[in-house]
């Protein structure tokens, strides 16, 4: 992966968020500003994933979740969707070994079977290759929707209750969380949205319940390591109360 500057000296390395989630927004606007096609904007955004991943690794972040393609994104023009999945396949093929060499594990959130077959296969190959890595998890949300994830969890709990494996009154927040896509990463500490939009777009509705939110006007292809460090500094400046008092 590309070298990034060392963590900003203002960051308290003992209080780095364990789980950062990013809504990567602004590829299309970046392309328009630079006189490029939307496909070229997505390519620039894909290159930037490597930079931000390495910056998170430098910080000691345990999990980075990236919103890459939502269940609503199928409504985009077919050519743009096709270009996106060709780009995803190419990225998986080109960078799987580099991801593996840095001890990063690739994970997936969403319905992988709903993706084009070639893209799904390339994602699975990268996950298989990196399955034993331990330094950091990069969790890619592809064909993902927060509501769909909660419906899936509710259906699985309902099925267990119907089979007599669990009583309805024994269903708790913890048991529901265990039925999310990646239960080991159910809590997000810091949610970042690029491009300045003030919405969460059906992303990780359960997991961001007490996340600190940083919205930046920076478009995703321009969101570099220093922008990430600035978001972490903002996170560390806040008093996380989780509904209580200090």
* pLDDT of 242 over the 80 cut: no
Q: Model confidence over 30-83: pLDDT tens digits?
A: 999 999 999 999 999 999 999 999 999 999 999 999 999 999 999 999 999 999
243: in domain: no
- The SS3 assignment for 75 reads helix
pTM of the predicted protein model: 0.95
| pLDDT confidence bin for 246, thresholds 50/70/90 | low
157: in domain: no
Q: Model confidence over 93-135: pLDDT tens digits?
A: 999 999 999 999 999 999 999 999 999 999 999 999 999 999 9
Residue with token string 């580099």: 98
> Catalytic residue numbers?
25, 73
What pLDDT is attached to residue 58? 96
| pLDDT confidence bin for 143, thresholds 50/70/90 | very high
Domain span including residue 127: 18-145+186-234
Average the pLDDT over 209-222 and give the result. 98
Three-state SS sequence of 94-139: HHHHHHHHCCEEEEEECCHHHCCHHHHHHHHHHHHHCCCCCCEEEE
| pLDDT confidence bin for 212, thresholds 50/70/90 | very high
Backbone φ, ψ for residue 146 (5° rounding): -60, -40
What pLDDT is attached to residue 218? 98
7: in domain: no
- The SS3 assignment for 31 reads helix
213: in domain: yes
Structure tokens at 60: 């000691």
The CATH number of the domain holding residue 34 is 3.40.1180.10
Question: How many domains does the structure of the chain reveal?
Answer: 1
């Amino acid at each position: 992966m590309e070298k990034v500057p060392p963590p900003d000296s203002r960051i308290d390395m003992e209080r780095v968020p364990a789980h950062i989630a990013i809504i990567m927004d602004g590829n299309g606007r970046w392309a328009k500003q630079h006189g490029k096609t939307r496909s070229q904007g997505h390519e620039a955004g894909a290159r930037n994933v490597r930079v931000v991943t390495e910056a998170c690794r430098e910080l000691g972040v345990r999990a980075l979740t990236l919103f890459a393609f939502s269940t609503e994104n199928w409504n985009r023009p077919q050519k743009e969707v096709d270009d996106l999945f060709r780009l995803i396949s190419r990225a998986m093929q080109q960078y799987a070994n580099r991801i593996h060499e840095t001890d990063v594990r690739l994970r997936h959130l969403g319905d992988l079977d709903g993706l084009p077959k070639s893209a799904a296969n390339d994602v699975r190959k990268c996950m298989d290759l990196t399955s034993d890595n331990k330094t950091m998890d990069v969790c890619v949300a592809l064909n993902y929707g927060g509501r769909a994830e909660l419906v899936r969890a509710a259906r699985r709990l309902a099925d267990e209750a119907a089979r007599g494996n669990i009583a309805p009154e024994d269903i708790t927040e913890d048991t529901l969380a265990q039925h999310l896509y990646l239960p080991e990463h159910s809590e997000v500490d810091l949610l970042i949205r690029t491009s300045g939009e003030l919405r969460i777009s059906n992303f990780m509705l359960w997991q961001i319940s007490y996340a600190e939110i940083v919205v930046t006007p920076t478009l995703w292809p321009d969101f570099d390591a220093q922008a990430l460090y600035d978001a972490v500094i903002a996170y560390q400046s806040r008093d996380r109360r989780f509904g209580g008092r200090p």
